[in-house]
Structure 1
């Protein structure tokens, strides 16, 4: 066990990923906490947390894993990674591989990609002990992402600075962590970065008038997408507006939303984000045209 874990830890470090030990058969860090710190060794100049002590040094990794069957944690921030964690539904606090009728994180993420007009990204992917999946991406330059929980959707979390994931090769009583797609790690797609960096939606920005004929689901989508546009920061506003219009175009194609109402709502969101009307109108028009054309067959 120690030999296989050592090999897995060295493999992770060879990719430039910073690793640290987890408790044997567990997902919790094995390193001491601040209250138990002796102020010696790595902590001689002050207590260092697991993120600071994670390493790519083969010598330190051998010293740690050669004789100890510790599971392997990958500190995502120092490793330059953003990992999307697609979890399984839980029953009585435990993940259920069957799902019990609740969509799993993989299903929800696939639907998220579809709504955004994107394909599911091809990248390095692992299966977790519970049957979920980890999608690895390289972090974008100039953006310091942190952990999120449910921001992209139910049972979808993300790990970046301040977070870690359990590396393949590790094992727990629930099962093993294994590589299921060894595709090289891809850069985090811009549209995912936009969603992860969007500010918290405020109630004031979700008070879009209810459309005359919209279903409850379509109305909620209109309000949510309008709020996303209004909250978009500089540098991602146009893309967020484009993505929102494409997502809402399918409701126009199905007859659940009126095109004029969608255009006005999204324009209001764009203006709230700091865009000019002359910038909003062509983006909304072209994106709606594209979406309606591509969803006409599905509307029937």
Structure 2
């Protein structure tokens, strides 16, 4: 029994050491469990009426929104999750604006071949970069994107077996121990920095442009939409809520809801959270009988 109790502590200590090393390189991290999920559960899990929260409440348990490069904060997160055996690296954050290309091998897919085919078709090459091997035999390629570009997460959109980790997503860090094994840096790539994503590949990672539509509410509605589009990490939900409240107060909330949702998604906010925030704003501004 003592041996079984001792092993998790060793795994957590090792995971913390790897996480602190990553944080020193400017990579924001969170503790992960052996299932590769965030080790800390949401503090709002027992309150179904709680509004969307990305850590504004000040408590840990908000997944990738807890990610930090501050050693004291990283130690604090791991202290709150002594069962953690790995760490996640948040994508899309400065200074690296990390983009993860996850090449899966499960179900017999040849993701590496699919990426090679895409490269030939769209005339790009993957530069030398950090490569992390997964316990299942897959690979994670680490790339960086421009600060002004928000790359969304996707699964199999490029090709079968190719998943993309972008804004709001995370990569399992090398040295993490999971139920299926340990993640490790591929030989010969540990000394490399994440390479810039080729422009042709970056274009493939972005969602297709939508046709321009007139914004309901004229100049005022356009101003509210632009206010949401200018939101940065940590203020997206707050800006969306404020803009939605103004829209409903001015009688254009229902007409502007889709445009506000699209603007929020453009900043990296998940669509279901954006619509939930707009619904909350509509409820808050509804006239009292």
Tell me the TM-score range normalised by the shorter chain. Answer: 0.5 to 0.7
Larger Rg: 1
Question: 1:61 is matched with which residue?
Answer: 74
Number of equivalenced pairs:
188
State the distance in 2 between where 1:72 and 1:43 align: 22
Larger RCO, structures 1/2 (Cα 8 Å, 6+ apart): 2
Whether 1:82 aligns to 2:117 is: no
Pick one of 138, 154, 163 that aligns with 1:157. Answer: 163
1:1-300 equivalent positions in 2, closer than 5 A: 1-23=11-33, 25-33=34-42, 34-36=44-46, 44=57, 49-65=62-78, 68-70=82-84, 71-79=86-94, 80-90=97-107, 99=108, 103-180=109-186, 181-182=189-190, 183-199=192-208
Q: Secondary structure at the match of 2:102?
A: strand
Shift of 1:169: 0.7
Q: Deviations over 1:205-250 (max 9, x none)?
A: xxxxxxxxxxxxxxxxxxxxxxxxxxxxxxxxxxxxxxxxxxxxxx
Taking structure 1 as reference, are residues 184 and 44 closer, same or farther at Cα in structure 2, changes over 3 Å only?
closer
Shift of 1:148: 1.2
Q: Deviations over 1:48-102 (max 9, x none)?
A: 7222211111112223436825110111123521111111132xxxxxxxx3xxx
TM-score, L = length of structure 2:
0.58
Structure 2 segments unaligned to the other structure (5+ residues): 1-10, 211-289
CA RMSD, 1 decimal: 2.8
Shift of 1:170: 0.6
TM-score, L = length of structure 1:
0.56
Preserved contact between residue 103 and residue 111 of structure 2 (Cα < 8 Å): yes
State the distance in 2 between where 1:108 and 1:121 align: 17
Structure 1 segments unaligned to the other structure (5+ residues): 91-98, 202-300
State the distance in 2 between where 1:175 and 1:155 align: 20
